[in-house]
Amino acid sequence: MIAILFLLWAPSIFAQGLDPSALLKPTTDTWPTYNGDYTGRRYSPLSQINQSNVSSLTLAWAFQTHQQEMKSTPLEVNGVLYFTVPNHVWAVDARTGRQIWQFQRESEGNFIANRGVAMYKDRLFFGTPDAHLICLDARTGKKIWDVVVADTKFGYYISTAPLVVKDRLIVGISGDQTDIKAFLDARSPEDGRLIWRWYSTPNPGEPGANTWPNADIMAHGGGTTWMTGSYDPELNMIYWGTGNPHPVMAGQVRPGANLYTCSIVAINPDTGKMVWYFQASPHDTQDRDANETPVIFDANFQGKPRKLLAQASRNGYFFLLDRATGEDLLSTLYGPQNWSEGLDKRGEPIPNLKKQPQTSGTLVDTMGTNWWAPSFDPGTGLFYVNAYRLTFVSYLTRDGSKATESDHQGAVVSPLWSQAQLLAIDYKTGKIAWHRDSPAITGYGEAGSGILTTAGHLLLTGDVAGDIIALDPATGKTLWHVYAGDSVTGCPMTYELNGRQYLLTAVGSVLYAWTLPPSTSPAQ
């Protein structure tokens, strides 16, 4: 009997593998890459769980990692889930939540997060706290190769989930503790060798170099690439966000716009050459990374069909661009702020230099968001983002006139008040269609959850009260909620197996799978 059961079970294990061409097709019942598909929309066509039955959701299973909180989005391929926390990868049966294998290693470095794995054929890839890129056999969890991407002694680490594009892995880099030069790599899935490297800051003599005071500061200018981007196969462009310049808050030592930090960049995946850029926060001095997901979709704008890219940036602006050219179509605030004096002719914000950190303190009032994945629902035409309104005082801790490029952060922040808000933004106008406030808290709201929308007319996310919530994406009406006992930390995802749809949410160190009871599930 055991042998028979093994043979029945074996195909789901040993048939694992993902043809990279599958990523070119719209996602149906699986979740094969970090954002579900290349668009970054996090919209699923599944509708078994919908407005009429979501109140009946019940727990299918729970998987306890016994590690730190999860910030990864699981992949689901051929009935197996793959997910991570730093230095750990699991393969779990997507039907039962039972572990198939676990990979674990020891390392030094930064353990703030790991967003997940990428899959290419029968291999998995993930980055580590000490800036290694590791390849595993998806069937067994055995290590195939391990390459060093950057030197962790300089503060580099990898928290992003790689993105498979054609026959290469696109891998971003993290690091905000020292003044480093950031980059984006394309690497071979066969052996991890470097195919090309694009640097976030230019070299002397290159376009953009004139936005830095000198070559030394430019060579340590930051711009980390720590969130997974999106990809348009038709235009053959990848879209990636870059982080803040270095030193992070002591901007007096680096006058200028500091290209290409805090930017959205379009890169040819074959050559690594930048096609266009849009800088969300020129000369940033308040850690306003533009790493938030560039969401791509085709839709009408001002009566014409356009290839669009939308981002709700960490600086409180919603940007809508033509993703073929980088032309700004709409730049608008999604909340109050006092750090910007308006927009320039490119639609990029003009920083108010009086709101840079000062030794006597600078009061800043702004909106923001973080790495939590947004979602775009083509049915409602609304862009959803979990955001915060923040009020804080920033103090320059070094005299800017005497500071050098070795002064990294250069300032401290004293938080005063913040309030989390879930916003639904009309992409055509930038206006807020509806919003859902969470209780106000003192200090930053660094904890948050990503968003999933589905063809079941549902929006699934978490709030700062620790509730998992399902809303009507058209109105924001609450349809279902449950308190799961800890912070909702990851980004929800969904898949369907054997006629049954599952919703997954990460809560603290536990991964929960929700589904309909057999009596209400059409296939049961």
Helix or strand holding residue 4 (H, E): helix 2-14
Of the candidates 141, 124, 138, which has an alpha carbon nearest to the alpha carbon of residue 192? 124
Say how far apart CA 502 and CA 438 lie, in whole Å: 26
Q: For residue 345, count other CB atoms closer than 10 A to its CB.
A: 6
How open is the CA angle 111-503-95, to the nearest 5 degrees?
95
Upstream peptide bond of 20 is cis (omega within 30 degrees of 0): no
Cα torsion through 44, 266, 234, 33, rounded to 10? -30
Tokens of 238: 């990848």
Say how far apart CA 155 and CA 135 lie, in whole Å: 22
Of the candidates 264, 254, 285, which has an alpha carbon nearest to the alpha carbon of residue 366? 285
Could you tell me the maximum CA-CA distance found in the chain, to the nearest angstrom?
Answer: 78
How open is the CA angle 160-236-123, to the nearest 5 degrees?
45
Q: Residue 400, class by beta-carbon neighbours within 10 Å (0-12 exposed, 13-18 middle, 19+ buried)?
A: middle
Q: 37, 185, 287, 463: which is the annotated catalytic residue?
A: 287
DSSP code string of 124-141: EEEE-TTSEEEEEETTT-
Is 72 strand, coil or helix? coil
Of the candidates 115, 112, 147, which has an alpha carbon nearest to the alpha carbon of residue 131? 147
**DSSP classification of residue 3:** H
Residue 211 phi/psi, 5° resolution? -95, 10
Say how far apart CA 239 and CA 198 lie, in whole Å: 13
User: In the block, which residue shows the tokens 């054609």?
Assistant: 166
Is residue 146 among the annotated active site residues? no
Q: Residue 481, class by beta-carbon neighbours within 10 Å (0-12 exposed, 13-18 middle, 19+ buried)?
A: middle
Helix or strand holding residue 217 (H, E): helix 215-219
Is 251 strand, coil or helix? helix
SS (H, E, C) 390-421: EEEEEEECCCCCCCCCCCCCCEEEEEEEEEEE
Count the alpha carbons within 13 Å of 381 in the hemisphere toward its beta carbon: 11
Instruction: Give the residue numbers annotated as catalytic, written as ranges.
Output: 287
